[in-house]
Chain A
C-alpha cells in the first residue's frame, strides 16, 4: 500500500494553481514552475510504474471511503505505461514550447490542468470519476486549442467543444444506464454486477453502446472524427503536438479500460455485435483516415487524418481481444504518441523556420533544413512501419494477434494499412528530397504580400535548441523503442492476463 497515487493527479493540479497565482506576481514564471512540476511528475510516475511492474497492481481508496461510495484509484501495468507516457511527453513538449510559445502563465496553468486531467483518466478505478477527468481534459484541451489567438483557432476550438461535449455526454449516458442496472460505479464492482444482470440485458448492451460511441468521438474514430483535423491544424504547434500525442491516446486507453475491466471479454463473447462494432470502427477508420490523409494539402491536417487511421489500428488490436493483439495495441498506442507528437513538432520546427505549412511547400526542404527534414523522414518511415522501428513492432503484434484469432479480413486490412500509410508519407518524403524548391522566392513574396491570417507563426522565426531537442528525441525513441518491446511485453503480460481472463 502506498500513498503516492493521488499525488499523480494532485501534483499537476496544484502546480497549475501555483502557476496561475505566480503569474500575478511575476510573468514569465510559468515555464520554470511547469518544468519543475513536470520533472516531479515524471519521477513520481516512474516510481509508481516501477512498483507496479515489480510488485503488481496498486489500488488506493481516496479519503478512506471504501466503495461503494468512495473513489478508488487503480494502477496496473497498462495505466502505469500511459501515466509515464503522459509525464514524459508533456515534459518534451515543454522543452519545445519554451520558445515556440504560446507564452504566458495562463497557458502553462491550462497545460498542467490538462496533464492532471489526463493522468486522472488513466489512474481512476471509477467510471463516474473517469467522466469528471474526461471533462477536465476536454475543457482544458478546448482552451489550449483556442490559445492560438486567431479566428481559425477559435472556430476549431468551438467545433471541438461542441462535438467533444456530445461525446462526453454520451459517455455519461452510458454510465447512467450501467448505474441503473447495477447500482455501482466502481469498475471492479461493475464488472461483477454486469455479469449478474446478464450480458443479454438491453440495459447492459445500451450502456456499452453509449460509452463506446462516446469514446469513439473522443478518440476520433471515423466517421466521428470531425472535430479533430481542425483542432490539430488550427492550434499552435506546441499544442497540436501535445494533444495529438496524448489526448486521443488517453481516451483510447479509456475505451480499452472500460471494454476490458468493466465489460470484460466475456461480454464480447456473449454479444457478437459489440465486437463487430469495434472491428467495423477499426476497419473504417484505417481505410477512410488514410484516404482522407492522402487528399490533404495542409501538413497538419494530413497528420491529423493519419491519426484517425492509426487509432483505427489501435482499435483493431483491442477488437481482436487476445493477448498478442493487446500487446500490439498498447505498443502502438504508446509508439504512435511518440511518433505523431514528434511529427507535429517537426512540422512546427519547419513552419517556424520556413513558413512552410502546405504539402507543396515542402519541395526541396532537405536542402534548406537537412536535420528537420531528416527527422521528419525518419518519423514518417517509422509511422509507415519500416522495421525495426516501434511502428513496425506494434503492427506486427496486432497482425499476429488477428491471425491467431483467425479474423482474416481484419488481418488483411491491418497489413494493407502499411501501404495506405506509405501513400501519404511517401509523397512528402519525395517532395522533401527529390524536388527542387519550386521558385522559393515567389512563395516568400506571396506570403509577405498577403500574410495568411490563419497561420499561427511563432515569433522569432529561428527554431531553438529545445525545439530541435524535443523532435530529435522523438525520432530517436521511434527508432530505438522497437528493441525494448519484448521486455516491455513481458512486464505487461501479468496485467493483460488479468484483463483478458
Chain B
C-alpha cells in the first residue's frame, strides 16, 4: 500500500462546502441555485470517482493539514473503506439533487435555499466522515454532520418538526459525547487515535477493562446514529423532514456515518481479532440481532409508509453491524467465516443505500402526486403510479433478500459467514428477519397492484387492536359510545354506496379543520406534512380524506371509485422524480446481478483483505 499526497480528498470535502456560499447567494433565482447544487454534486462525484482506480490498485490518497492536537494529525485519507462510503454518498447525492428539485417544487416548499444549502453542507460533512484518517477527525465531521442536518429535520418549522429536531440534537450530541469520551480513552491508552488496518497495536496490551469501556462508549456513541435499539427512537421522528432528506440522509449519509464509525472502530481501531477477544463482538452481535428482528416486527404494524420504511432502516442497518460483529467474533474460525461476514456486512452498506433510497423516493413521489401516505389508503394505487410502484416492488424484493436484487448478495455473504462461524442464532435471526421483510413489504405491493379502493382484504395485523380479543375489549371500553365502527370501517364503502357519502367525508374534513389546525393559525396549517405520521397508527382520517379526493368514478369498472389510470410512460409524475427512482432501482438490480462489475464489491473485498489478511 503506497500513500500519495494529493489534494483530492480535501477537494472532495470542500467542493460542496464551498457550494453552500453561491447557493445561499442565489436564493432568489431558483434555477441558478439548483445548478450550483448539481454542479457541486457532479464535481464531487468526479473527484471521488477519479480516486477509485488508484485505490483499487493499492494506493491511498492523503491530504495533510497539519497537527491539530499533539499526536493527532488533521489528515484526510481516501483509503478503501472511506472511498466506499464517499463514493456511495456522492453518487446518490447527484440523483437526490434532481429528485429534491422535483419534490420541493412539486410541493412549493418554503425556505428552499436553506434546504439546498444545508443539504450541500451535510454531504460535505458525510464525505469528511468518510475520509477522516483518525478518530478525532472523524469526530469533528460527525459533529458537523449533526449540526448541518439539524435544519433539514426541522425544515417544516412546525411543532412536531421542532420536537423531532430537539430529539435529534439530544440523541446525536449525546452519542457524540460518548464518542468523544471513547476517543479520549483510546488516546490515553495508546497515545494516538489514527486508523490502522487491523487495529492499533498498543490497544491489545492495554488494560482490558478500560479498553472494553472505550469500545462500549464508541460503539454506543456511533450506535445512536446507526439507530441500534434502544437508541433508535430519533429516526422515526426525523421522518418529519422532507422525503429526499429521509432518503439520502436518514437512509444513507447520516445513519451510515454511524455504521461507518462502528466499522472504523472494529476494523481500524481495535481490529476484528481484539474485539472478539475482549468479548465485545458477542455483545454487539446480540444487540444487532435483537434490533434487526424487533425492528422488523415493529415495522409490521406501521400503517404510515414512511414510518414503516424508517423501522425497516433500523432493522437493515443492524445487518451491517451484525456483519461487523460476527466478523469480529469469528476471527480464527474455519472457512474464512470472519471475512465472509465482514464482506456481507460492508456490502450491505451500498446495497441497502440503493434499495432504501428507491423506496423513500417512491414514498415521496406518492406523496407529491396523490398525498397518500398511509398504506391502508394505497389500494389500487399501482394504476395511478405504475412506474413508481414497479420500482418499489423491485427494491422491496431486494430488501427481503430475493435473488437478482442487491440485498440478496450481501445477505448471502452474511449468512455464509454466520453459519460457518457456528453462529446459528445469528443465522436464524437473519432468516426470520428476511421473512418479516416480506411480511411487511409484500402487503404494500399487493395492495397497490392487486386491490382497488372498493375491494380490499382485511388487514388484521395493522387494523386489529393490539392485544387481540382482550385488547379489542379494552379499546371498546375506552371508546365507549363513540363512532368506533365508523372510524375503523373504511370510508370508501360509505361513499360507493352512494348513501352517506357526503356525510362521511364532510364529517372527516370537519374533524380535520377543527382538531387538525395548530393554534398558531394559517401559516402552519398550510404546511406540508411530508407524509409524516406521529405514531404507529399512521395519519388516519386526514390521509384518508386526502386520498379520497384523488379518486374518481370515471376510472373504475361499473362506475366504482378508482384511481385515475396512467400509463407506464412516465405521465404519472415528473421525470425529475421518476429518473432518480429508476436510477436507484436499476442500481440495486445491477448490484444484485453483476456485483463484481459494480465497483463496490471490489472495494469491499479490498477492505476485508486489508483488515483480516484473507482474500475472498
Indicate which residue in A387, A422, A436 contacts B169 across the interface (CB closer than 8 Å). A422
Complex alpha-carbon distance, A338 and B159, angstroms: 34
Q: Does B157 belong to the interface (CB within 8 Å)?
A: yes
Q: Is A434 in contact with B184, judged by CB distance below 8 angstroms?
A: no
Q: Does B580 belong to the interface (CB within 8 Å)?
A: no
Q: A381-B147, A387-B140, A419-B174 are in contact. Are A434 and B154 (CB under 8 A)?
A: yes
B192 CB, nearest partner CB in chain A, Å? 12
Q: Does A403 belong to the interface (CB within 8 Å)?
A: yes
Q: Is B157 in contact with A419, judged by CB distance below 8 angstroms?
A: no
Indicate which residue in B70, B147, B173, B188 contacts A418 across the interface (CB closer than 8 Å). B173
A23 CB, nearest partner CB in chain B, Å? 46
Q: Which residues of A contact B169 (CB under 8 A)?
A: 422, 426
Complex alpha-carbon distance, A43 and B523, angstroms: 55
Q: Is A399 in contact with B180, judged by CB distance below 8 angstroms?
A: yes
- Which of A409-441 touch B at CB < 8 Å? 411-412, 415-416, 418-419, 422, 426-427, 430, 433-436
A309 CB, nearest partner CB in chain B, Å? 15
* Chain A to chain B contacts (Cβ below 8 Å), 10 pairs: A381-B147, A386-B144, A387-B139, A419-B174, A422-B169, A430-B154, A430-B166, A434-B151, A434-B154, A483-B66
Q: Does B575 belong to the interface (CB within 8 Å)?
A: no
Q: Which residues of B contact A388 (CB under 8 A)?
A: 68, 140
Q: Does B187 belong to the interface (CB within 8 Å)?
A: yes
Q: Does A216 belong to the interface (CB within 8 Å)?
A: no
The 3 closest A-B pairs by CB, nearest first: A387-B140, A434-B154, A403-B188
Q: Does A9 belong to the interface (CB within 8 Å)?
A: no
Q: Does B14 belong to the interface (CB within 8 Å)?
A: no
Complex alpha-carbon distance, A396 and B151, angstroms: 26
Q: Does A292 belong to the interface (CB within 8 Å)?
A: no
Complex alpha-carbon distance, A381 and B157, angstroms: 20
Q: How many residues of A contact B (CB 8 A)?
A: 31
Q: Is B181 in contact with A415, judged by CB distance below 8 angstroms?
A: yes
Q: Does A393 belong to the interface (CB within 8 Å)?
A: yes
Q: Which residues of B contact A381 (CB under 8 A)?
A: 147
Most buried by A among B70, B154, B161, B166: B70
Q: Does A404 belong to the interface (CB within 8 Å)?
A: yes
Q: A387-B139, A419-B174 are in contact. Are A435 and B162 (CB under 8 A)?
A: yes
B520's nearest neighbour on chain A, judged by CB, is A436
B positions within 8 Å CB-CB of A: 66-70, 139-140, 143-144, 147, 151, 154, 157, 161-162, 165-166, 169-170, 173-174, 176-177, 180-181, 184-185, 187-188, 520, 523
Indicate which residue in B70, B161, B162, B177 contacts A489 across the interface (CB closer than 8 Å). B70
Indicate which residue in B147, B177, B184 contacts A403 across the interface (CB closer than 8 Å). B184
A422's nearest neighbour on chain B, judged by CB, is B173
Q: A422-B173, A489-B70 are in contact. Are A404 and B188 (CB under 8 A)?
A: yes
Indicate which residue in B67, B143, B151, B180 contacts A433 across the interface (CB closer than 8 Å). B151
Indicate which residue in A411, A483, A486 contacts B70 across the interface (CB closer than 8 Å). A486
Q: A418-B177, A418-B180 are in contact. Are A400 and B157 (CB under 8 A)?
A: no
Q: Which residues of A contact B162 (CB under 8 A)?
A: 430, 434-435
Q: Is A400 in contact with B166, judged by CB distance below 8 angstroms?
A: no
A489's nearest neighbour on chain B, judged by CB, is B70
- Which of A421-470 touch B at CB < 8 Å? 422, 426-427, 430, 433-436
Q: Which residues of B contact A486 (CB under 8 A)?
A: 66-70
Q: Chain A, 369-388, contact with B by CB distance < 8 Å: what is the 0/1 string?
A: 00000000000010010111
B152 CB, nearest partner CB in chain A, Å? 11
Q: Which residues of B contact A397 (CB under 8 A)?
A: 69
Q: Is A436 in contact with B68, judged by CB distance below 8 angstroms?
A: no
B528 CB, nearest partner CB in chain A, Å? 16
B183's nearest neighbour on chain A, judged by CB, is A396
Q: Is B147 in contact with A415, judged by CB distance below 8 angstroms?
A: no
Q: Is B69 in contact with A396, judged by CB distance below 8 angstroms?
A: yes
A410 CB, nearest partner CB in chain B, Å? 12
Complex alpha-carbon distance, A482 and B68, angstroms: 8
Query: 13 other contacts beyond A419-B177, A430-B154, with CB at 8 A cut-off?
Result: A387-B139, A387-B144, A388-B140, A400-B187, A403-B184, A403-B188, A411-B181, A415-B177, A415-B181, A416-B177, A418-B180, A433-B151, A435-B157
B159 CB, nearest partner CB in chain A, Å? 10
Q: Is B520 in contact with A434, judged by CB distance below 8 angstroms?
A: no
Q: Is A399 in contact with B184, judged by CB distance below 8 angstroms?
A: yes
Q: A396-B69, A415-B180, A416-B177 are in contact. Are A386 and B157 (CB under 8 A)?
A: no
A367's nearest neighbour on chain B, judged by CB, is B111
Q: A388-B68, A415-B177, A422-B173 are in contact. Are A434 and B185 (CB under 8 A)?
A: no
Complex alpha-carbon distance, A396 and B140, angstroms: 12
B523's nearest neighbour on chain A, judged by CB, is A436
B144 CB, nearest partner CB in chain A, Å? 7
Indicate which residue in B157, B177, B180 contacts A434 across the interface (CB closer than 8 Å). B157
Complex alpha-carbon distance, A261 and B27, angstroms: 57
Q: Is A426 in contact with B147, judged by CB distance below 8 angstroms?
A: no
Complex alpha-carbon distance, A398 and B68, angstroms: 15
Complex alpha-carbon distance, A276 and B184, angstroms: 23
Complex alpha-carbon distance, A294 and B151, angstroms: 22
B24's nearest neighbour on chain A, judged by CB, is A370
B171 CB, nearest partner CB in chain A, Å? 11
A365 CB, nearest partner CB in chain B, Å? 13
Q: Is A419 in contact with B173, judged by CB distance below 8 angstroms?
A: yes
